[in-house]
Structure formats: structure tokens, C-alpha cells
Amino acid sequence: MFTTLSDRLTSTFKNLRSKGRLSEADIDATIREIRRALLDADVAVPVVREFSASVRERALSAEVSGALNPAQQVVKIVNDELVTILGGEARPLRFAKTPPTVIMLAGLQGAGKTTLAGKLALDLKGRGHTPLLVAADLQRPNAVTQLSVVAERAGVPVYAPHPGVSGEDEVPTGDPVAVARDGVATARTREHDVVIIDTAGRLGVDAELMQQAADIRDAVQPDEVLFVIDAMIGQDAVLTAQAFLEGVDFTGVVLSKLDGDARGGAALSVAKITGRPIMFASTGEKLTDFEAFHPDRMASRILDMGDVLTLIEQAEKAFDADEAERMAAKVAAGQDFTLADFLVQMQQMKKMGSMKKMLGMLPGMGQMREAIDSFDEREMDRVEAIIRSMTPAERDNPRIINGSRRARIARGSGVRTSDVNQLLERFAGAQKMMRQMNKGGGVPGMPGMGSLPGMGGKKARGRTPAPARKKGKSGNPAKRAAQERAAATRSTGGAPAAAPGSSFGAPAGSGTQARSGPAASASDLELPEGLDKLLGGR
């Protein structure tokens, strides 16, 4: 969502890095570009003004003028101010001392409250809680049915005593306040420790909507009131947030549809305008596309610094600890990494979500955005189909896959034979890397460690090293004789050896002993008369 804003800010900072010192004019030009980028991203004007003033004040202080790298210091200042705009610190849910904890969802119709209820319930269930969903939206057609379907997908129970309305022309007859009150009582009876109440929304802010939300709040006394806002609605996000703050007084904000392609800057203004923290973010359509909102991590993403911590957290959730231990033990035992292992690892990576999102969380990936956007997510499905078309023996030992087997695998997976060949070639490289790491070569491409195939390293651990090239004989007779004596000394274990025969006629075994030192002069040799004068001093 913040791609355009990220690109504008990154381009602005790139112009600063070429300057060793920053003048006031440079800082003013940078602030001007940052202000334009924020306004183009639909950030609220009061927030942009305050942000620009804070950055300019800090950029003109000794904090930047005395820095070794002023450009990096300005980037740090912008990062700090972005974190402030986004709320400063992440705030988790506040749980009641005496269960159940009551969480009420409020917002406009179409903001994604019902889907978010299922996402939040699934997240809490994964953390060991026992949530109960309450269908208190009796006005939107089929809202109760939708919540029931979402609850079933999340694997959590739902309290829905009233079916709600099924058409636009049907008049609502149920009492949402009574449903919410009874839902909390049912959760207490069934010993659920969390209750999530889905309330009705409207296409716009009106008095009836606010009064109903306020009545539900007064009836159930929720521990948290989460205002769900569509991150794609533009400047209306700020006006809607202010209206709900006055009418319902929510305790936290949830950004939905954060994976959209709208500018989304207005959503960044909500925390600053309302003074309420952004607590969660919905980043996709799946129930697992849900994460806690961390202002510092979001600021890093906007500035193309990556979000490695969130990536690690997602990996910890997706990867099976027992499988990881089994794989580590296999590598430690010197066993080969097989296609069956590769299939398991790939399936666990798919649990983490979209590969594009994961790559986007790495630092500096903004420069490769076009390549990431062009990445085909279905490629992993094709690779999985190829491996599943192999027999267990072929997965364990790809060397037995000959031409006929490759053709059979290609037909079984619906791909070309060349695709099978490419997969086997890439896997062979990965297998070599695993062997190298197992033998102590470490991570290829790093100082003091081995190299990946194709990364320029020619020395492979485990191979017999190539014999050192012998040094050629010197054209200087004195030096060449010294070389031959040194070689003879090494071959006899350091004991003096007879001088070898010389091309100048000194017979081998004539009794002439070589001196022990590495340096030799013409006087040490039996040379023809007059030649020693020509070689003198050499």
C-alpha cells in the first residue's frame, strides 16, 4: 500500500547520500520533497505540517551538523518521526482480570469487521485462548451467516440466536443489544475467556449507528473497543475516526485491507489525530493474513529498511519445531538433503504466506520491486507438482532420474521436460551447499567460509587440492644451482647432498659439497675460467 510513499522517500534520501555536509538549503529541499510525498500519499494536512516542522527542527540542530554521516542522520530523524506518527509503541490487548475479556468491533459497513472477527479469534486461539464470536450485526443482509462461515473456518464457536435479515428489503426485527448481552453471559457460562462482538455498520456516519454502538458498549462494558477502518478510503478515514471517537470512544484502531494498492496515507494519520494506538493490521484475504501492528516496523517498511522481526515471527509460527530438529539431526549426521526434505521445507514456507510479502520484508527490496512483482506465486505449486510426480526412490536419490523418468515426471506434473531438468539442476546446487555446510564450510559467500556453486569460489572443501605449480628454473647458473641444492636437501630430509651435475661440466659426485645457506655466489661453483668474472655480483 505504501509503495509510492516508500519510493518517493527513498529517492529523496538517495540525493542526500552524495553530500558530505548538508546546508540549510539542502535540508529545506529535502523537507519540501518529504512534505510533497506525504501529501501525495493522502496523509492528513495537520499531521504533515507537524511532521515537517519536527524533522526540520531536528535536522538543523547539532544532531545532524556534528554527525559523521549527515544523510544517514536525517534518515534516522525521519524514521523516528514516522514512528511517532504511527503511535510510538505497539500496544497489546488488555485482558480482563476476571474472564471473559470482552472485545467489541465497531466501524463502517464494508470495513471488514466480520472477517476481522474471525482473524482475531484465530490469532487468540493460536495463543491458547478460547474465544467466542457473537453475531450482533442483525441489519446487514446475511451478516450472521457470514460470521458463522468465518467462525467455522477459524475453528471457533459462534453465538447467533437471531438469523438477522436476508435481503435489502427485509426490516430488522432483532435486538442487537440483547444479543450482545446474552452472548457475554453465554461465554461466562461456557467458560470462554474471550468474547468478540461483531456489530452493525453503515455506509456513512449517522446518529442511529452511533446510538446503537453506544448502547451495546453500555450493556456489555467491553474491555477493548476496536475501531476497524478501511485503509483505502482516503481522507474520510480521519473524519470517520473522529466521529467514532466522539460517539463510541474506542480504545484501539485496526487497519484493514492494508494489502491494497491505494495510497493509504490517511490511515497513518488516525493514530496521531485520535490519540488511539493502531493495534492490528489485516494484510490479506486469508484468516492468517493478520498481524500485530508495530509502529517502528511499519516505519522501517516505508523507508525500505525491511521488517526482519515480523518475518522471523511468521517463520516461528509456520515452521514445525519437531521437523526442524529432525532436519538438523539429519544434516549433523552427514546425510544428504533430499527432494523429500525440500518438499517439506517448501510446504512450511507456503504456510508463511505470500512469497512477495516475505521478500518485501527484506531490507533494500524496494530496489527490486519490479522483479518481486513479476514473481509468479504459482511457480512453487509447479515445483511441488514435479516432486510429487516422482517415486519415493527418485526423491531420495535424484541421480537415478534418467531421460525416460524425466519425461514421465513431466507428463505427470503437466510441465515440460526442461522444467524438470531446471529443478534437478537447482536442487543439485542446493545439495552441494548443504554438504559443504555439513563439512564445516559454513555459509557460502561469507568471509572465511565456502562458496556457493557459481559464486566465484574455486576452492571446494573435500576435494584434493590441485598441486602447486613448480617454480621454473632460473636462467642464472648460480641461482639455478642453489635451487637444485635446496631441492636435494629437501629430498634427503635436510641432510647435505652431493651437488648434482651441472650443464657447465661439473661431474656429479665430484666431492663438491653445497653450502647450507640459500644464497650462493659464483665462487661456490666450479665454472670455466673467466665466467666467474661475468657472474660476479649476481
Q: Quote the CA–CA distance of 243 and 210 in Å, as a whole number.
A: 9
Spatial strand order in the sheet of 101-106? 158-159, 131-135, 194-198, 101-106, 224-230, 252-256, 278-282, 290-292
Cβ atoms of 10 and 71 closer than 8 Å: no
Of 74, 5, 84, which Cα lies nearest the Cα of 47?
84
Residues 153 and 249 in one domain: yes
Q: Does 388 map to a domain? A: yes
Q: Does 94 map to a domain? A: no
Residues 111 and 156 in one domain: yes
Write down the pLDDT at residue 463: 45
Residues 257 and 326 in one domain: no
For residue 167, the enclosing domain spans 101-305
Write down the pLDDT at residue 453: 36
Of 85, 119, 135, the residue at which a domain comes to its end is: 85
Write down the pLDDT at residue 405: 92
Write down the pLDDT at residue 51: 87
Q: How many domains does the chain have?
A: 3
Write down the pLDDT at residue 331: 63
Of 390, 407, 438, the residue at which a domain comes to its end is: 438
Q: Quote the CA–CA distance of 161 and 182 in Å, as a whole number.
A: 9
Residues 105 and 226 in one domain: yes
Residues 370 and 414 in one domain: yes
Residues 159 and 138 in one domain: yes
Residues 179 and 266 in one domain: yes
Of 275, 305, 335, the residue at which a domain comes to its end is: 305
pLDDT-flagged residues of the chain (< 50): 442-469, 494-525, 531, 534-538
Q: Does 477 map to a domain? A: no
Write down the pLDDT at residue 57: 86
Write down the pLDDT at residue 339: 84
Write down the pLDDT at residue 76: 84
Residues 298 and 364 in one domain: no
CATH, residue 415: 1.10.260.30
Q: Does 462 map to a domain? A: no
Whole-model pTM? 0.62
Cβ atoms of 284 and 353 closer than 8 Å: yes
Residues 348 and 429 in one domain: yes
Q: Is the dihedral of CA 205, 228, 49, 39 positive or negative?
A: negative
Q: Does 117 map to a domain? A: yes
Reading the block at residue 507, the C-alpha cell is 661431474
Q: Does 160 map to a domain? A: yes
Write down the pLDDT at residue 312: 66
Q: Does 209 map to a domain? A: yes
Residues 233 and 336 in one domain: no
DSSP 237-268: HHHHHHHHHHHT--SEEEEE-TTSSS--HHHH
CATH, residue 52: 1.20.120.140
Residues 430 and 324 in one domain: yes
Q: Does 453 map to a domain? A: no
CATH, residue 159: 3.40.50.300
Residues 352 and 332 in one domain: yes
